[in-house]
Amino acid sequence: MSTEDKPSTSKDTKMPENAAPIASAGDAAARQGDQIEVLAKEAEELRKKLDQERQKLNDIPIQQAAERLDPLPNLGIKQRRILKGHAGKVLCMDWSLDKRHIDGKVIVWDGFTTNKEHALTMPTTWVMACAYSPSSQLIACGGLDNKCSVFPLSFEDDILQKKRSVATHTSYMSCCMFLRSDNLLLTGSGDSTCAIWDVESGQMIQNFHGHTGDVFAIDVPKCDTGNVFISAGADKHSLVWDIRTGQCVQSFEGHEADINTVRFHPNGDAFATGSDDATCRLFDLRADRQVCVYEKESILFPVNGVDFSVSGRLLFAGYGDYRVGVWDSLKCVRHSVLYGHENRISCLRTSPDGTAICSASWDCTIRVSTSFTV
């Protein structure tokens, strides 16, 4: 028998040591891919079922429900005050609950006399958020320094000496507001998170993870029970959070670009958003869906600020084309346009009693308009 015909031994047929692991790894990857595909199909089926359930609540469009309402009268909105004092873009403002004081960046104004009451120098040159406390005794400001600083308002003491750094994020601080009292501060950040802080201790009480992009805006209902707030940002989603659990309880989508601003309807059951896609949208929490889009073909610029009138019938929207659009929130049509700014509008807010609207702009001014009753 020749060596060529000699039967092979076990040594000759031994597989390389790494062959089995390679096969196992390949099989595991294939199984994992199959599992992902199955889960994706299940998620899509659940999405379809959810859309069907939402559609059951959409009995008639909001425009049809509002057909019997009388058209809005002439509102007579006129510009009453121009607040000048900033040397650069005004990025944020907030009303005090006494309806007279406005905080743009870190200048505190009397909204009726246009007098400056306080002027603060911040450690960052780009302040992106400010808020008044419910008592109007504190203001919170923050921006590119990743922090939120709280100042007590007093004419007797040096405000800067009593500054406290309350919140610290890992990216810029884009928005802030006090939550129910002077002791709790809610913040949103470019690190994709929101957080609640204890003002006295500076400690974080709750952190909220869920966004996949920068958080640009937050809001709580005016009829706040202390349980929920809403956030929106670069991921084109608006998320409703349960403060008690730290969990997202509702998610809304529809915008085609970054959401820059969000504001609850006065009744707390709906909210409006404004986006870089040049639209405002109204979402209903009970129907769990979008119910109206406020848009016109002639509007091409982003929406940077939205707010409702005291009744919720009017929706004010500040645009990048220097104008404020006044929308009938129920009929979903634009009622009028307010002019005056010479650069993009960055923020707007109605006063707590609903008698005035204030807009801040990159033209370095804040403008107050009055005379609307709905």
CATH classification at residue 363: 2.130.10.10
Q: Is residue 56 part of a domain?
A: no
Q: Is residue 55 part of a domain?
A: no
Distance CA 215, CA 175 (A): 8
Q: Please tell me the total count of domains within the chain.
A: 1
Overall average pLDDT of the 59-87 stretch: 83
Work out the end-to-end distance of the chain between its first and last CA atoms, rounded to an integer number of angstroms.
108
Q: Which amino acid is at 312?
A: G
Question: Cα dihedral sign for 315, 321, 323, 328?
Answer: negative
Task: List, for residues 332-374, the tens digit of each pLDDT value.
Answer: 999 999 999 999 999 999 998 888 999 999 998 989 998 666 7
Distance CA 326, CA 339 (A): 11
Overall average pLDDT of the 47-51 stretch: 81
What are the helix (H) ranges across 1-102?
10-13, 19-57, 62-65
Task: List, for residues 210-241, the tens digit of each pLDDT value.
Answer: 999 999 999 999 876 669 999 999 999 999 99
Q: Which amino acid is at 294?
A: Y
Q: Is residue 162 part of a domain?
A: yes
Q: Is residue 31 part of a domain?
A: no
* pLDDT of 371: 65
Q: Is residue 41 part of a domain?
A: no
Among 89-93, 167-171, 202-206, 237-241, name the one with the lowest average pLDDT. 89-93
Residue linked to tokens 């743009």: 104
Q: Is residue 200 part of a domain?
A: yes
Share of the chain above pLDDT 70, in %: 81
Question: Cα dihedral sign for 161, 166, 168, 173?
Answer: negative
Q: Confirm if 170 and 194 have CB atoms less than 8 A apart.
A: no
Range of the domain at 153: 64-370
Distance CA 76, CA 88 (A): 31
* pLDDT of 239: 98
Q: Is residue 103 part of a domain?
A: yes
* pLDDT of 292: 95
* pLDDT of 3: 44
Q: Starting at the earlier edge strand, list the strands of the sheet with 345-350.
A: 78-84, 365-370, 356-361, 345-350
* pLDDT of 298: 94
Q: Is residue 311 part of a domain?
A: yes
Task: Name the more confident of 311 and 7.
Answer: 311
Q: Confirm if 341 and 46 have CB atoms less than 8 A apart.
A: no
Provide the pLDDT confidence category of residue 164 given band limits of 50, 70 and 90.
confident
Q: Got the DSSP string for 319-355?
A: ETTS-EEEEETTTTEEEEEE---SS-EEEEEE-TTSS
Is the pTM above the cut of 0.85? no
